[in-house]
Amino acid sequence: MEYRIWPDAEPAPAPSNPPPLPERRHRPVFSGTAGEYFGIWIVNVVLSILTLGIYSAWAKVRTERYFYSNTRLAGAAFEYIADPIAILKGRLIAYAVVIALVVSSKFMPLLYLLLIMAVGLLMPALRVWSLRFQARNSVWRGLSFRFDQPAGDAYMPFFMWNIITFITATLLYPMASLAKQQFVVEGHRFGAKRFSFKGDSGQYYPAYFAALGLGVLCFVVAVVVIGVGSIGGDAKEGSTRFAFVMLLFMLIFYGGMFFIMTYLRVRYTNLMWQNSSLVLNRFESTLRVRDVCWIYFSNIVAILCTLGLAVPWAMIRLARYRAEHFTLVATGDLDEFVAASEMSAGATGAELVDALDAGFDFGI
C-alpha cells in the first residue's frame, strides 16, 4: 500500500486591521440676532428692577433658553430646561447672605469676618452645585448632561491649589489651572458617557511664561514712563505733566493686565477643549487672542457709550464668535453614539442628589 503525505495546509491569512472610522467635523451654528434678543433683554431688565430682583430667575431662564435654542450642533439645537422657581430659591439664599455681609460689615465686624470665612470655605462646594444644576438642565438631542463630582473633591483644585499658587508667587499657576480643568471636564458626562481629559502641565507653561514676560515688560515700561515724566519743568508744568504721566501709567498698567488675563484665558480655554474627549469624539477650539481682546474692548466701549443698551449686541457678538471657533470632531456615526448614550443612561436609572443640589442655582 502506498502512502502519500500531503503538505500542510497553508495557514489562514491573519485578519487585516479594520479600517478606521470616518471623522466628521461639526461646527456649532448660532442664529441669534441682536435685535431679536434686545426685546427679551429689555423686558428682563425692566421686570427685574420692578420686582426688586425677584424676576431675575425668570430672566436667566429666558436668556439661557434663547441662546441654547439658537445654538445648533450637527443639526440639533440645545435646550435649557431649568425651573425658574428652583433658581429663585438659590437667588434668595444668595441675597440673604449678601445682605448679612453688608449689615455685619457696618455694625458687627466679628460676624462679618466669620461670614466672609464661611463663604470662602463654601465656594468650592457652591461651584460644584452650580455645575450640577447647569449640566442637569442642559439638553442636546433629548439627552441631558450630568456633573457628578463630589463637592468635597473640589477643595483640592479650587481651594488648596489657590493657596499653593499664592505661596509660590504664581509659579504653579499652570498646574492649578490644569487641575481645575481636569476636575470640571472629567466630572461631566453626556448620558452615561463620561468626558475624559488628557492634558499635562508642559502644555500650560509656555503660555504662562509668555504672560509673565509681558507682565514684566509692562512694569518696566510703566516705571520708565514715571521716571521720564518726573524730570524737569516748573511747578505749573509739573502738575500737568504728573496728571498726564499718571494717566499714561494707568493705561499701560491696566491695559497690560487686561491683555495678559485675556491671553491666558484664551490659551487655556483652547487647551482645555483640545485635551478633552467624549469616548472617540474630540473637540477643537481655535479662539485667537487678538480677536477676543478686540471683541472685549469694543464691547466695553459700545456698552459705555450707549449707557448699557449695547449689552444684547455684545452678548450676541461674543456667542457667535465662540460658535465659529469651536468644532466637534465626531468619529463614526454621531446618531449611533447618541442612541448608545441614551440606552446606557436609561439602564443606569435616575441619580440621587443631596439636598443642597436638589434644585438650587446660586448664580455663580
Residue at 206 is within a domain:
yes
The pLDDT tens digits for 109-135 are 999 999 999 999 999 999 999 999 999
Residue at 222 is within a domain:
yes
Using pLDDT thresholds of 50, 70 and 90, give the confidence band for residue 144. very high
Domain residues for the domain of 254 are: 200-274
The pLDDT tens digits for 154-201 are 999 999 999 999 999 999 999 999 999 999 999 999 988 999 999 999
Using DSSP bridges, classify how beta strands 23-26 and 29-30 pair: parallel, antiparallel or unpaired.
unpaired
Which residue's entry shows cell 446606557?
A: 344
Report the C-alpha gap between 56 and 92 in whole angstroms.
11
Determine the pLDDT at residue 237.
63
The pLDDT tens digits for 83-95 are 999 999 888 988 8
Of 161, 158, 185, which is closest to residue 173 (Cα–Cα)?
161
- Report whether pLDDT(352) > 50: no
Of 11-15, 114-118, 259-263, 336-340, the least confident: 11-15
Report the C-alpha gap between 60 and 362 in whole angstroms.
12
Residue at 223 is within a domain:
yes
- Report whether pLDDT(233) > 70: no
Using DSSP bridges, classify how beta strands 193-197 and 188-190 pair: parallel, antiparallel or unpaired.
antiparallel
Residue at 204 is within a domain:
yes
Cβ within 8 Å of residue 260, ≥6 positions away: 211, 214, 215, 218
Of 77-81, 313-317, 328-332, the least confident: 328-332
Three-class SS of residue 81? coil
Residue at 357 is within a domain:
no
Determine the pLDDT at residue 225.
79
| Backbone angles phi and psi of 126, in degrees to 5 | -60, -35
Cβ within 8 Å of residue 256, ≥6 positions away: 214, 215, 217, 218, 222
Alpha helices in 230-328 (DSSP H): 235-274, 289-305, 311-324
Of 116, 92, 93, which is closest to residue 104 (Cα–Cα)?
116
Report the C-alpha gap between 212 and 210 in whole angstroms.
5
- Is residue 360 within 8 A of residue 86, CB to CB? The reply is yes
Report the C-alpha gap between 361 and 364 in whole angstroms.
8
- Report whether pLDDT(306) > 90: yes
Of 29-38, 71-80, 176-185, 247-256, the least confident: 247-256
Residue at 136 is within a domain:
no
- Report whether pLDDT(307) > 70: yes
- Is residue 90 within 8 A of residue 127, CB to CB? The reply is no
- Is residue 77 within 8 A of residue 67, CB to CB? The reply is no
Determine the pLDDT at residue 252.
87
DSSP state of 357: G
Using pLDDT thresholds of 50, 70 and 90, give the confidence band for residue 362. very low
Report the C-alpha gap between 70 and 319 in whole angstroms.
10
Determine the pLDDT at residue 253.
87
Write the DSSP string, 171-185.
TTHHHHHHHHHHHHH
Q: Total domain count for the chain?
A: 1
- Report whether pLDDT(212) > 80: yes
Report the C-alpha gap between 255 and 251 in whole angstroms.
5
Q: At what angle do helices 109-136 and 84-107 cross, to 10 degrees?
A: 170
Determine the pLDDT at residue 247.
85
Residue at 334 is within a domain:
no
Using pLDDT thresholds of 50, 70 and 90, give the confidence band for residue 244. confident
Determine the pLDDT at residue 350.
31
DSSP state of 163: H
Determine the pLDDT at residue 329.
96
Using pLDDT thresholds of 50, 70 and 90, give the confidence band for residue 359. very low
Residue at 263 is within a domain:
yes
DSSP state of 157: I
Whole-prediction pTM value?
Answer: 0.84
How deeply is 55 buried, as exposed, middle or buried, from its count of CB atoms within 10 A (0-12, 13-18, 19+)? buried
Of 1, 57, 24, 13, which is closest to residue 282 (Cα–Cα)?
24
Report the C-alpha gap between 307 and 276 in whole angstroms.
39
- Report whether pLDDT(8) > 50: yes
Report the C-alpha gap between 321 and 117 in whole angstroms.
39
Of 11-20, 43-52, 75-84, 222-231, the least confident: 11-20
Q: Write down the number of H helices and E strands in the chain.
A: 12, 11
- Is residue 181 within 8 A of residue 199, CB to CB? The reply is yes
- Report whether pLDDT(239) > 90: no
Using pLDDT thresholds of 50, 70 and 90, give the confidence band for residue 18. low
The pLDDT tens digits for 50-82 are 999 999 999 999 999 999 999 999 999 999 999
| Single-letter amino acid code for the residue at 339 | A
Determine the pLDDT at residue 250.
86
Average pLDDT taken over every residue of the chain: 87
Determine the pLDDT at residue 321.
98
- Report whether pLDDT(7) > 80: no
